[in-house]
Structure 1
Amino acid sequence: MTRGKGWGPYLLVLAGAAIGFGAIAMGLPAWAGSLVVAGSLLLGAVLRLVVPGGDENLLAVRRRRTDVVTYGVLGCMLAGVAASVAVQWMTGR
């Protein structure tokens, strides 16, 4: 484990995901909470890209490029699905 380094980005992403799932649990539409979780994943991709530090970053799973692409693709896919559900929900289909 690290000695206090790298906890900030990890906790930001974790808090964003928890807020998104909590919003769904409290009755918000699933697409709204999913957009928050998607934003959290995209924030994780950006933080993994810009925060210096090698193995001390708790967002690090593999190489930096692999992590950024993985977080980014998952975040974009989740945002796309949530947005398509939101459009259907708003139009009443």
Structure 2
Amino acid sequence: MRTRLPVWAPTGLVLLIAAAGMVRVLMEHWRQGGVLLGGALLVAATLRVALPPDEVGLLAIRSRVLDVVCYVVPGVVLILLAITITRGQLTLA
């Protein structure tokens, strides 16, 4: 018998990765934080595709295809921006 995931588990995983990304950004490692934030969106897209509708929780907002597109496009853009920007810092001083 297969055990069911708690309904909050997929969302919790994505939020945990996003929180790690925000911590890295606040520690002034914004490239690493940006990659983690983009990765959180890609994990959300993967979970949205892989899990059945009754186990996906709050990651299901619209139709499956539209949700995946809305997770993948910003995730890839965020990762590409974080990787390709080579100068500058995210500090005020």
Q: Same fold (TM over 0.5)?
A: yes
Could you give the per-residue CA deviations for residues 40-93 of structure 1, whole angstroms, max 9, x where no partner exists?
A: 1000000001111248621011001100011000100101111111xx24xxxx
Q: What residue number does 1:70 align with? A: 70
TM-score normalised according to structure 2 size: 0.80
Change (3 A) 1:55 1:61: farther
Question: Would you say the 8 A contact 1:5–1:56 is kept in 2?
Answer: no
TM-score normalised according to structure 1 size: 0.80
Is 1:81 aligned to 2:75, yes or no? no
- For residues 47 and 13 of structure 1, what CA distance do their matches in structure 2 show? 9
Identity of aligned residues (%): 36
Q: What residue number does 2:19 align with? A: 18
Q: Any unmatched runs of 5+ in structure 1?
A: none
- For residues 14 and 37 of structure 2, what CA distance do their matches in structure 1 show? 9
Q: What residue number does 2:7 align with? A: 6
Report the RMSD for the aligned CA atoms in angstroms.
1.7
Question: What is the letter of the counterpart of residue 46 of structure 2?
Answer: V
Question: What is the letter of the counterpart of residue 25 of structure 2?
Answer: I
Q: What residue number does 2:91 align with? A: none
